[in-house]
Amino acid sequence: MPDVVEQLIAVGRKVVAAGLVIGSGGNLSARSPDGAACWITGAGTWLDELDRAAFSLVRIADGGVVSGSPEPSTEALLHLRSYQARPDVNAVIHLHPQLSVLLDAMGQRIRLVTTDHAFYVRDVGRVPWFPPGTEDLARAAAAAVVDGCNCVILAHHGCSVLADSVELAHKRVVNLEEAARATCAALLLGGPVPECPQPAT
């Protein structure tokens, strides 16, 4: 099985191909096997051009760099505070999905229309606008997920999606934006937007 860095490299290519990232926006991370640190993409990296040298290993407790030469992403705090708040989380994906962000900016809640949306996303949290890369944003995002929410819209910015594996985080972020597309289509058709019943936990 590929290690978490190889999984993140593969996800980087896939999210760019899916149009979930523009330019060098977004960053990816995964918790190390010992749980004390996370691999995170370096500042300014393009997610479809990642290799192992594009990652830094950062301590979750204090943000200190354990290994790796690139400066960690400017959104490193967003990842670290989420890991601190959620010991069950092993991967965090932060992207800039345009339709999800647009619907939120227009005051439209993203609806979970299909069984996949309901199963993978389950709930969509929201954080008001804070300057990117700040402690305020990181703490607000962590507060939004502490009770178990795994998909959060960061107003006028992007999303933060959490899971216990890189693969599941990828499935969640893809379904989040697909739910936004379905919501938008239903609104254009005149609404109301139908929602799928939540699956049993």
Domain coordinates of the chain in residue numbers?
4-188
> Whole-angstrom Cα distance, residue 151 to residue 178?
13
- DSSP string of the chain? ---HHHHHHHHHHHHHHTT---TT--EEEEE-TTSSEEEEEBTT--GGG--GGGEEEEETTT--EEE-SSPBPTTHHHHHHHHHH-TT--EEEEE--HHHHHHHHTTPPPP--SHHIIIII--EEEE----TT-HHHHHHHHHHHTTS--EEEETTTEEEEEESSHHHHHHHHHHHHHHHHHHHHHHHTT-PPP-PPPPP-
The pLDDT, as a whole number, for residue 33 is 93
Q: Return the residue matching tokens 């407790």.
A: 61
Give the type of residue at 16: V
> Model pTM?
0.94
Q: Could you read off the pLDDT of 97-116 as tens digits, one per residue?
A: 999 999 999 999 999 999 99
Q: What confidence score (pLDDT) does residue 199 get?
A: 72
Return all residues near 106 (Cβ < 8 A) that are at least 6 apart. Answer: none
Q: Does domain 4-188 have CATH number 3.40.225.10?
A: yes
Q: Which residues of the chain have pLDDT under 70?
A: 1, 200-201
Q: Which residue has the tokens 């400017």?
A: 74
pLDDT given at position 198: 78
Is the previous residue joined to 194 through a cis bond, with omega within 30 degrees of 0?
Answer: no
For residue 136, what are its two tokens? Answer: 């305020």
Amino acid (one-letter) located at 182: A
pLDDT of res. 201: 60
**Structure confidence at residue 192 (pLDDT):** 86
pLDDT of residue 119: 96
Strand partners, 54: none
